[in-house]
Amino acid sequence: MKLKKGIPLIDQGNKLGFWGGKFGGNFVPETLKKPIEDLEILFNKLKRDKKFIKERDKYFKNWIGTPTRFIKLENLTKHVGGAQIWSKVVSDANGGAHKIYNATVHCLLAKRSGKKIICGDTGAGYAGKMLSMAAKKFGLKCKIFMGVKDIERQQPNVKAIKKNGAEVVPVYSGSQTLVDAVSECMRFWVANCDTTAMCVGSTVGPAVFVRICGWSTSQISRELKVQLINEFGSIPKKLKLYNCVGGGSSSFGFWNEFMDLNKKQCEFIGVEAGGPAKSKKHAAPLTYGSKIGILHGAAQYVNQDSDGQIEETESISAGLDYPGISPLHCFLKDTRRARYTAASDEEALSAYKLVTKFENLRPSLEPSHAFFVALKEAKRLSKDTIVVVNSCGDAYKDRGILEKRLGKKYVKSN
Amino acid sequence: MSNPISIAFKKAKEENRPALLTYTVAGDSTKKQSLNILKSISKNADILEIGFPHNTPVADGSQIQTSAYRAIKNGIKLNDIFKIVKDFRKLVKDKPIILMGYYNMIFQYGENNFLNKCKASGINGLIVVDLPWPENKVFAKKCKKKSIYFIQLLSPTTTNKRLKEIIQNSHSMNYFISMLSTTGGKLKVSPNEILKKYRKIKKLNPKKDIVIGFGITEKTIKKLKSADGLVVGSTICKEITRSLKSGQNPVTNVDRLVKKLKNKIK
């Protein structure tokens, strides 16, 4: 299994949509074959269409707000005393997280295909919030599927979705989290694919959804590349890019432009959700060596039992609380281009405390996982190493959890 | 030797009626009960579809999901399902059995291992919801080698080109999904429209047996009786749920329901 240079990773799958011959694919009910094929044709055409790219860039610039900041975390760098610690503040984007890129592109595609309704899944509520924003902007009716457990723990985003005029469909089945929301959303699409477009909220699902999402979030690394060159004159010789990984959309987007660089120059570190320190449950299929299986239409490493039943996950962070992982990341793991590790709930909270103590930045619980590992490793790295953490979400949505776990002061003071 | 599935269609045709296919979830609500249900309904059903329950079913509506979760909660494993079929086979030798489920469970069991077990337990056909054409090419061939029918699914969204290709490569039986829906949805197109599409598919190769499924209930079954076969699933799962809720015996209730369904298409 090998990565090819000079070809975008999203286009390195084979004819049936498998990366490395075994990750991804289209394990879907017959009914979805045609809508997926239609979407593939449309996407393959539009991603080469200069007018479409121009339109995308216009909305990215004027509506989402590009580029998001690239800042040095001076105080943390001093405190840690090792590598230089920087952050790409993707939470600057309209809506407060990277999910806006994928949502915008899906709405643009839906418009082109003449669909009037768009449905989507959400865990942390960001994918849902952004899709509802984009749907409103582009005049589409919007339905968001969300597990009941997530509705409870991510209220600020639920409110935002409703405010944007979208319908929130509570999902009661299974573990009542993201995995069930994706299933229910796919079921809705099976029954309504003639009138409705579907947006999968991460780089998961049938191959075309993995590709569209990866293509959309790659905006992050396009910006970062320019910013790095502006700041350092060229891409630093020792660069480490830390990102949390749930489904894998923000990390893929954060890394994509640097894919062809030698990993000694630019290392990718993906941080999965290890769950509560005392629990055996986790959302870290790559770190803990889960077996390959099929979830939501794609072959991937996934938490499952010996019979192939998908296992329940546990994480403080709703956005990472998913038993599977993007086929792109499975491919990056097996080709050893990226390294994956996990941080526990408690470790993420401690990193959140540290970052907010020293910096005027408040990463949500998802990137707090990445911050934990980055800060831990930065200590041992040389001063000329550039560590960049993607702060891909804002902690506003986590107010309730942060107040409960850390006390009021961590919510108020920020 | 013909596959018992083909014999069942032939027999139904001789009686001038469609074959009745029932779908129940293995282990719903217990292993013993699901075996008893199979035993009792086999008097009236021509072909038994048995679902192996999965916990992230992307094509099933709430009725079948409820049955599946119930069975999984009661600890059903694939090996138990093979055992149920084997036990059933000891009592009823010639009733065709089709296993239906999601690919990950076959994948984890190992395709070859799974098919060997199917063969040994007396399973005659397989439906894999999320392994469409052409992804199923290799697996379907393996099935054929074991004289197990791999049943292809066809849907209202299947293009003409695909229809031709799938039918051409299909084994003896195919399954036409009546409408855009998960299982158990209300019939949102008229039976006439469904039959029109059905006949179009049938014309591609009249020798292939084609069953219609999704949205078939006591109310709708009669209107579709010109098909080769009709599948009733969610209605049965719903009856099991209802019986359990009201403290009644699901076995006798489901038996009665299947008898009624059969009478409607006689």
H/E/C letters for each residue in chain A? CCCCCCCCHHHCCCCCCEECCCEECCCCCHHHHHHHHHHHHHHHHHCCCHHHHHHHHHHHHHHHHCCCEEEECHHHHHHHCCCEEEEEEHHHCCCCECHHHHHHHHHHHHHHHCCCEEEEEECCCHHHHHHHHHHHHCCCEEEEEEEHHHHHHCHHHHHHHHHCCCEEEEECCCCCCHHHHHHHHHHHHHHHCCCEEEECCCCCCCHHHHHHHHHHHCHHHHHHHHHHHHHHCCCCCCEEEEEECCCCHHHHHHHHHHCCCCCCCEEEEEEEEEECCCCCCCECCCCCCCCEEEECCEEEECCECCCCCECCCCCCCCCCCCCCCCHHHHHHHHCCCEEEEEEEHHHHHHHHHHHHHHCCCCECHHHHHHHHHHHHHHCCCCCCCEEEEECCEEHHHHHHHHHHHHCCHHHHCC
Is B135 noted as a catalytic residue in this protein?
Answer: no
Average pLDDT of the segment spanning B159-172: 97
Query: What's the pLDDT tens digit per position in A312-332?
Result: 999 999 999 999 999 999 999
Q: Measured between beta carbons, which residues in chain B are less than 8 angstroms from residue A25?
A: 135
The predicted pLDDT at position B1 comes to 62
Q: Are residues A156 and A198 in the same domain?
A: yes
Residue A195 covered by a domain: yes
Average pLDDT of the segment spanning B222-239: 97
Residue A137 covered by a domain: yes
- Across the interface, whether the CB atoms of B109 and A308 are under 8 A apart is answered yes
Whichever domain contains A358, its CATH number is 3.40.50.1100
User: Is A157 part of the contact surface with chain B (CB cutoff 8 Å)?
Assistant: no
Q: Are residues A276 and A305 in the same domain?
A: yes
Q: CA-to-CA distance for B25 and B239, rounded, in angstroms?
A: 12
The predicted pLDDT at position A411 comes to 76
The overall average pLDDT reported for chain A is: 96
Of the candidates B69, B72, B135, the beta carbon closest to that of A16 is on: B135
Q: Measured between beta carbons, which residues in chain B are less than 8 angstroms from residue A35?
A: 157
Structurally, chain A folds into a number of domains equal to: 2
Q: For residue A414, is pLDDT > 50?
A: no
Q: For residue A413, is pLDDT > 90?
A: no
Of the candidates B59, B130, B177, the beta carbon closest to that of A187 is on: B59
Please tell me which residue of chain B has the smallest CA distance to A196. Answer: B180
Residue A13 covered by a domain: no
Q: Are residues A247 and A388 in the same domain?
A: yes
Q: For residue A277, is pLDDT > 50?
A: yes
Residue A303 covered by a domain: yes
Q: Are residues A78 and A142 in the same domain?
A: no
- Across the interface, whether the CB atoms of A33 and B132 are under 8 A apart is answered yes
Q: How far is A395 from chain B (nearest CA, A)?
A: 30
The predicted pLDDT at position A224 comes to 98
Q: How far is A122 from chain B (nearest CA, A)?
A: 16
User: Is A119 part of the contact surface with chain B (CB cutoff 8 Å)?
Assistant: no
Query: What's the pLDDT tens digit per position in A287-308?
Result: 999 999 999 999 999 999 999 9
Q: Are residues A246 and A303 in the same domain?
A: yes
- Across the interface, whether the CB atoms of B132 and A179 are under 8 A apart is answered no
Q: Measured between beta carbons, which residues in chain B are less than 8 angstroms from residue A307?
A: 77-78, 105, 108-109
> What is the band of B138 on the pLDDT scale with cuts at 50, 70, 90?
very high
Q: Measured between beta carbons, which residues in chain B are less than 8 angstroms from residue A194?
A: 157, 180
Are A385 and A379 contacting, i.e. CB atoms less than 8 angstroms apart?
Answer: no
Among A164-178, A263-277, A325-339, B17-31, the least confident range:
A164-178
Q: For residue A412, is pLDDT > 60?
A: no
Residue A8 covered by a domain: no
Q: For residue A384, is pLDDT > 50?
A: yes
Is B46 noted as a catalytic residue in this protein?
Answer: no
Q: Which domain holds residue A42?
A: 20-26+33-59+98-214
> Which of A214, A230, A264 marks a domain boundary?
A214
Q: Are residues A330 and A285 in the same domain?
A: yes
Using only the alpha carbons of chain B, give its radius of gyration: 17
Q: Are residues A251 and A384 in the same domain?
A: yes
Please tell me which residue of chain A has the smallest CA distance to B63. Answer: A173
Average pLDDT of the segment spanning A110-139: 96
Q: Are residues A106 and A182 in the same domain?
A: yes
Q: Are residues A310 and A210 in the same domain?
A: no
The catalytically annotated residue of B28, B60, B209, B255 is B60
Query: What's the pLDDT tens digit per position in B55-88?
Result: 999 999 999 999 999 999 999 999 999 999 999 9
Average pLDDT of the segment spanning A194-207: 97
Average pLDDT of the segment spanning B146-161: 97
Q: Are residues A200 and A276 in the same domain?
A: no
- Give residue for tokens 């800060």: A375
The predicted pLDDT at position B67 comes to 95
Q: Are residues A386 and A369 in the same domain?
A: yes
At the topology level, CATH places domain B4-265 in: TIM Barrel (3.20.20)
User: Is A171 part of the contact surface with chain B (CB cutoff 8 Å)?
Assistant: no
The predicted pLDDT at position A410 comes to 80
Q: Are residues A287 and A222 in the same domain?
A: yes
> Which of A166, A181, A214 marks a domain boundary?
A214
> Which of A185, A214, A243 marks a domain boundary?
A214
Q: For residue A383, is pLDDT > 60?
A: yes
The predicted pLDDT at position A175 comes to 82
Q: For residue A276, is pLDDT > 50?
A: yes
Query: What's the pLDDT tens digit per position in B106-118?
Result: 999 999 999 999 9
